A and B are shown apart, each in its own frame.
Chain A
Amino acid sequence: MPIGVKVLARPIDEVSYVRAAVKGMALTFKHLINPHKVTVQYPEHRDPLSPRWRGTHRMLTTEDGTAKCVACGLCPAVCPANCIKLVPGEDENGNRYPLVFEIDEFRCIFCGYCQEVCPEEAIHVGRHYENSEYSRDGFVYDLERLMAQTHPVCEMWDPADPKGE
């Protein structure tokens, strides 16, 4: 060789692929006989969600079917993603209520601050993950949509262990 390239000795038992291939195939056949239980047979089977799961929102209602929201304006104020649009109004009894309440679920970062700040326990993040729509507009949930949701809502903390210790 024109330049001095050093050729190292390659002991066959260290560089042979046969041992690695056999080792890999052994793992494969082991899984064939005794498979890992990783795959969930969704949608027939669904794993339970954590009680603190924060998914798309739900507006809770009073017994007479109106939204609990009193349009205090704290959730749009606290929302870090600025995804809540709220216009307060006044009903015929002089009560404050949300004239417009819209949440852009695309903008939402599911931090749950809105649920935490709500003094009326009206707006909640839901234990829910199946969201699909035919158009992007469908992800702007208006008040009617938020009230029509039925999924369970997030428990921000465990009542038995409020500090999470």
Chain B
Amino acid sequence: MTEGKMISVTIEGRAVQVPEGTSMLEAAKVAGVLIPHYCYHPGLPVAGVCRMCLVEVEKSAKLAPACATSVAEGQVIHVHSDPARVARQGVLEMLLINHPLDCPICDQSGECELQDYTFAEGRKDSRYREAKRFNPVEDFGGDVVYVPNRCILCTRCVRFMEDVAHDPVLNVSERGDRAVIGKFEGQDLTHPWAGNVVELCPVGALLSKDFLNKARSWDLDRSASICPNCTQGCNTALESRDNVVVRMRPRPNEDVNKYFLCDEGRLNYRWLNRRDRVEFPHIRRGDALAPAGWDEAVEAAAAALRGRRVHVVASPSLSNEVLFQLAQVIARLGGTGVFRVRQGPEAPLDGVPGLSLRADRAANVRGAELLGFRRTETPLAGLANGDALLVADEELAGADAASLAAAAATAAAVVVIGTTLPSWAMRAAVMLPIANMAEEEGTFTNVEGRVQRYLQAKAAPGLARPGYAAMGDLLTALGDQTVNVVPSDVFRALAAAHAPFGGMTYEGLGLRGATVSAQAQPAALAAAT
């Protein structure tokens, strides 16, 4: 694309100016006109095989494929004129020759582009009277199952695996009407980003085994979110049904993840639906934890912490807001803040520079660092005798019983803020249940320092409250005068207190995020040194 030179075209009577080299299809998007298309995808190289995007160009002898034709100065393009419409109707009729009418049992139903375009401008019946071609369902390995009968051979999946994942496993096998998507001998769709072919498929030919027959697309509630499974911070849409998250899909963001999401992130949403959640605040009565009201529990937590140095073990999956409030607790009482990050193998997506499943498997590692928390492998080390131990949304999985017992013996009081109650937490003085990331809103800072908002997708169980509300109340009980119990207020205080976040507002982040200023140094916690 040449920088600078703009070209004026008229699409469906709307004059637009686009940079030179823009395809007609992208120019039409600028004009607010959708040109139906199958093989074209903005994240993939142009193929021009489906012939669905044919448009009429004035003074041109024949119809032009909008995805593969660049706009030229002064062109007048008609998308819905009779010749273009008739051509597309013909394409649709051809596609439907072998496409089964099994929409009732097809998972793509409701979000199927073939369904949409046929409904919008297809013929009302087929003139084809022969038997439809039949091929058995094939397991492509990984999370993907292939239903060849539904395939319209747009080759989006082939191009994704070849040009974006750089793992050419898929091809078009056979020719003519026998053509299907095939796998190379002995290879499977096991690439860590292979699940994207399910989203790329415009019809129900490539389906996710995980989501198969689980819900209908029109039943789902969607909310914009951020993948909580690594520091990359891919933009996602959490889709839930009856307050249960049933799938996570990528949400396009040109600056972070383009159109993609890795398989690990995509499939690792079940913990958002955990059933072993704590529903009530608990305080210690004698030997056991007993349910209590929020006011009582917050007061008890404040009493346990007051006057003591505090050792905070925070989860790097907490939002910036909650981490900031924890840092405020440390600033008020003195103490240290540490976090531990679960590690996993890194898996880059070769075709998109800077996009990778990161080794740090938590969403807000960078945010925790910027807010002054110290990364450690031994989160309980450094707990001094007489300190209060404040564990925030960290299950301390894998920590051995001896060190936990030693920590419990050392700590003067243990306060647990979290979603679950692991066995070691039975020794806590107070337990405050909070919502997990799907049940609250907030912001994460990704590995590149991009602060991105996520929205609430489902309701929290029982009396569990969002972390920022619980922490706001706790801070108030500890004597803090600035009552910040909504995320935008907490974020404003955060932006005012920490230079890297300077100038940001919660609303201003929008759904695309903003990057922290690079030169600013991470803040040091008041008493961390």
Contacts and interface: CB of A to CB of B under 8 A. Distances in A.
A binds B: yes
Interface of A: 70-74, 76-77, 88-90, 94-96, 119-120
A70 B137 CA distance: 18
Given A96-B105, A120-B104, A73 B219 contact: yes
B109 interface: yes
B188 to A, nearest CB: 19
Interface string B117-139: 00000000000000000000100
Given A72-B109, A77-B218, A89 B213 contact: yes
A89 B213 CA distance: 6
Contact of A90 (B103, B109, B137, B213): B213
Contacts of A95: 105
B213 A119 contact: no
Contact of B214 (A74, A76, A77, A88): A88
Nearest to B101: A119
A120 B102 CA distance: 10
Contacts of B104: 70, 72, 74, 119-120
B216 A72 contact: yes
A111 to B, nearest CB: 19
Nearest to B107: A96
Contacts of A76: 219
B212 interface: yes
A77 B103 CA distance: 15
Interface residues of B, number: 12
Contacts of B219: 73, 76-77
A96 B213 contact: yes
A63 B50 CA distance: 41
Given A89-B213, A96-B213, 9 more contacts: A70-B104, A72-B109, A73-B218, A76-B219, A77-B219, A88-B213, A88-B214, A88-B215, A95-B105
Contacts of A77: 216, 218-219
Contacts of B214: 88
A45 B214 CA distance: 48
B213 A73 contact: no
Contact of B212 (A70, A74, A90, A120): A90
A71 B218 CA distance: 13
Contacts of A96: 105, 213
A71 B109 CA distance: 12
A94 B137 contact: yes
Interface string B249-263: 000000000000000
A76 B513 CA distance: 38
A104 to B, nearest CB: 16
A88 B110 CA distance: 15
Nearest to A90: B213
20 contacts: A70-B104, A70-B105, A71-B105, A71-B213, A72-B109, A72-B216, A73-B216, A73-B219, A74-B104, A76-B219, A77-B216, A77-B218, A88-B214, A88-B216, A90-B212, A90-B213, A94-B137, A96-B105, A96-B213, A120-B104
Interface string B146-170: 0000000000000000000000000
Interface string B75-112: 00000000000000000000000000001110001000
Contacts of A119: 103-104
Question: Which of B109, B212, B215, B216 has the largest count of A CB atoms less than 10 A from its CB?
Answer: B216
A43 to B, nearest CB: 40
Shortest Cβ-Cβ A-B pairs, 7 listed: A72-B104, A73-B216, A90-B213, A96-B105, A119-B104, A70-B105, A96-B213
Interface in B205-252: 212-216, 218-219
Interface in B21-47: none
A147 to B, nearest CB: 19
A32 B222 CA distance: 70
